[in-house]
């Protein structure tokens, strides 16, 4: 009898833990700003989240007009730090033009931002535009030193506003959930344990791929970073399809890529990137911000 009671108590405890854990996280693409602690926990777990329709239609349209006006005077020589550049643009946006939208996002997510990127500095303010016919990017992280020694480096997080409804045809940002917590040596161990490590180069592209030297089509190569979704079900491939005005937030450490746009129109995203002061900056570049002036997000309110 005692054994049965003990067994029931253990089952009840396990049920409680399952319910608690499920309530402690949002679905990765259905996050809510009203519970900032839960939002923070969800981001730390997945490394990529969506807050649906954070900005209203007027705000989003105003941001879109800012981006389109800048695009009119855009020159290819300004296409900064972008992979698979064919029909894909990364356009610097004047900070003062979009300042109020960054401030609004900060005020709405102050706990989240202050917790993960304390005393955050803005290191990017730009727009990503993919055009019909662009190829997928190769799988990558935005930084790599923090994948080797995460304790040494500060969090670097990007915040992107969808300036139009994004479906699969427009090549949405793709990610592999939970890989923000995966170190480089752990990636190698997974591949090595499955006798796959020697089939990929130092950038995790398959050595036999005919596009490996092609900057435009390299994303068509098989990638070891995607292979882990087949080897370990803990890591899930997702696409950030969402409504106009939604906020997409991704860690520099999560595996991701811009998808292939096979639709009939552009996919525009306005984004800014923050880095905290609780470690070294893992980013090896920054988009010019007001003549390299440092801008701390707390100073804006």
Q: What is the pLDDT of residue 77?
A: 65
Picking from 234, 250, 253, the residue whose alpha carbon sits closest to that of residue 242 is: 250
Domains of the chain: 29-300 (2.60.120.620)
Residue-wise pLDDT for 152-198, tens only, equals 999 999 999 999 999 999 999 999 999 999 999 999 999 999 999 99
pLDDT of 85 reads: 87
Q: Where is 96: in which H helix or E strand?
A: helix 95-108
Q: What is the pLDDT of residue 82?
A: 80
Under-50 pLDDT residues of the chain: 17-20
Note if the pTM is more than 0.85: yes
Contact partners, residue 76, CB within 8 Å, separation at least 6: none
CB 67 within 8 A of CB 163: yes
Whole-number average pLDDT of the chain: 91
Helices (H) and strands (E) in the chain, counts: 8, 9
User: Could you give the angle at which helices 57-72 and 95-108 cross, rounded to 10 degrees?
Assistant: 150
């Amino acid at each position: 009898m005692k054994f049965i009671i003990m067994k029931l108590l253990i089952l009840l405890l396990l049920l409680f833990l399952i319910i608690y854990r499920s309530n402690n996280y949002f679905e990765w693409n259905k996050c809510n700003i009203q519970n900032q602690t839960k939002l923070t926990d969800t981001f730390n777990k997945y490394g990529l989240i969506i807050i649906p329709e954070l900005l209203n239609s007027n705000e989003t349209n105003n941001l879109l007009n800012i981006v389109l006006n800048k695009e009119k005077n855009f020159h290819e020589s300004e296409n900064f730090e972008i992979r698979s550049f064919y029909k894909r643009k990364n356009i610097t946006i004047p900070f003062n033009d979009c300042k109020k939208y960054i401030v609004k996002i900060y005020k709405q997510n102050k706990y989240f931002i202050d917790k993960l990127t304390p005393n955050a500095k803005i290191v990017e303010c730009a727009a990503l535009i993919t055009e019909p016919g662009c190829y997928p990017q190769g799988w990558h992280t935005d930084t790599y030193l923090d994948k080797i020694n995460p304790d040494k480096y500060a969090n670097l997080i990007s915040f992107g506003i969808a300036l139009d409804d994004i479906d699969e045809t427009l090549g949405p940002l793709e990610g592999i959930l939970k890989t923000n917590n995966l170190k480089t040596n752990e990636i190698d161990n997974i591949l090595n344990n499955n006798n796959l490590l020697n089939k990929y180069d130092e950038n995790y592209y398959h050595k036999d791929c005919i596009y490996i030297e092609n900057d435009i089509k390299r994303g068509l190569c098989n990638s070891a970073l995607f292979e882990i979704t087949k080897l370990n079900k803990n890591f899930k491939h997702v696409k950030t399809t969402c409504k106009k005005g939604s906020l997409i937030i991704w860690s520099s450490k999560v595996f991701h890529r811009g998808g292939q746009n096979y639709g009939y129109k552009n996919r525009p995203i306005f984004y800014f990137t923050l880095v905290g002061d609780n470690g070294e900056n893992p980013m090896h570049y920054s988009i010019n911000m007001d003549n390299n002036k440092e801008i701390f997000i707390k100073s804006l309110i």
